[in-house]
Chain A
């Protein structure tokens, strides 16, 4: 049972270019989350998606960042016109559908994509 897959593992972009980060959740998981980790920091929530729906994007910058989780294929985090401050590790996590109210399931994380903006 493969875990959460992310690609690429490392991505180098020049300022102004676009970055596309991909995430395939674990089999049977329909919930995807994106987090960003700056150096020496903990992870910060960015966005929560289910198939074809953005549930919560409150942690994502309003400009240049977008996320999708299409019916078929991986979830994509897209950063347009990257700047040096976007350099970070971006982690995707997935979880199975939540049962009942008030309980969440473990979120399983991928290996991350390390974005470097030159």
Chain B
């Protein structure tokens, strides 16, 4: 079953606005990571948040993690046209016998920032 699922599937906003993407997962995790992928390109690592952390910031990015709801959100403030990309969350498992190296990705949120 799908571990990480992003919501919404697609998001279109104007430059300068904030963009919020959500990720839900099913099993307990060690860490949750967010990645960006530009069309036809590789993945760029954005941020990792550990299961004992609730919030993390990096530049214009803010990530929250609610382990009780098994969900995370990625907020991009003051968006730019260059932020247009697909955004994926990836989780690793912490259940007994699970492997914390095996990342499970959702299908991603396609963010379009219009100039």
Contacts and interface: CB of A to CB of B under 8 A. Distances in A.
Interface of A: 31, 33, 35, 40-45, 48, 55-56, 58-59, 91, 93, 95, 98, 102-104, 106-112, 114
Nearest to B2: A42
B42 A112 contact: yes
Contacts of B25: none
Given A42-B105, A48-B99, A58-B102, 5 more contacts: A40-B107, A42-B108, A59-B102, A103-B50, A109-B45
A104 B45 contact: no
Interface residues of B, number: 27
Contacts, number: 68
B101 A56 contact: yes
Contact of B102 (A41, A56, A112, A114): A56
11 contacts: A40-B107, A41-B107, A48-B99, A56-B101, A98-B101, A102-B30, A102-B100, A107-B33, A107-B103, A109-B35, A109-B42
Contacts of B20: none
Contacts of A44: 105
Contacts of A104: 30-31, 92, 100-101
Contacts of B45: 106-109
Contacts of B48: 106
B104 A45 contact: yes
A39 to B, nearest CB: 11
Contacts of A103: 30-31, 50, 100
Contacts of B43: 43, 91, 93, 109
Contacts of A114: 40
Interface string B51-86: 000000000000000000000000000000000000
A102 B42 contact: no
B54 to A, nearest CB: 17
A91 B102 contact: no
A45 B104 CA distance: 7
A86 B16 CA distance: 41
Given A42-B108, A103-B50, A48 B101 contact: yes
Nearest to A105: B48
